[in-house]
Amino acid sequence: MLKPIKRESFVLYKKSERLIFMENEKFIFCLEAVPDVDDSHSTEVVLCLEDIALRQGITSIYKACDTIEGLEESLNNLLYEDHNFKDYEIVYLVIPGEANNIRINDYYYSIEEIAELFEGRMKGKIIHFANKKILDLTDEESQYFLDVTGARAISGYGSQIDAISSTNTIDRVFFSLYQEDDDLKEVVEQLFQKHYNLCKLLDFRLYY
Q: What is the 3-state secondary structure (H, E, C) of 59-105?
A: CEEEEEECCHHHHHHHHHHHHHHCCCHHHEEEEEEECCECCCEEEEC
Query: pLDDT tens digits, residue range 31-79?
Result: 999 999 987 678 899 999 999 998 888 888 899 999 999 998 888 887 7
Chain-centre distance of CA 112, in angstroms?
A: 17
Query: pLDDT tens digits, residue range 161-205?
Result: 889 999 999 999 999 999 888 899 999 999 999 999 999 999 999
Integer angstrom CA distances of residue 62 from 93, 98, 176: 10, 23, 17
Of all residues in the chain, the percent with pLDDT exceeding 70 is: 85
Residue 19 gets which letter from DSSP? E
DSSP string for residues in 28-53: EEEEEE-S-TT--PPPHHHHHHHHHH
At position 102, the amino acid (one-letter code) is I
The architecture that CATH gives domain 2-207 is 3-Layer(aba) Sandwich (3.40)
Whether residue 14 is predicted with pLDDT greater than 60 in this model: the reply is: no
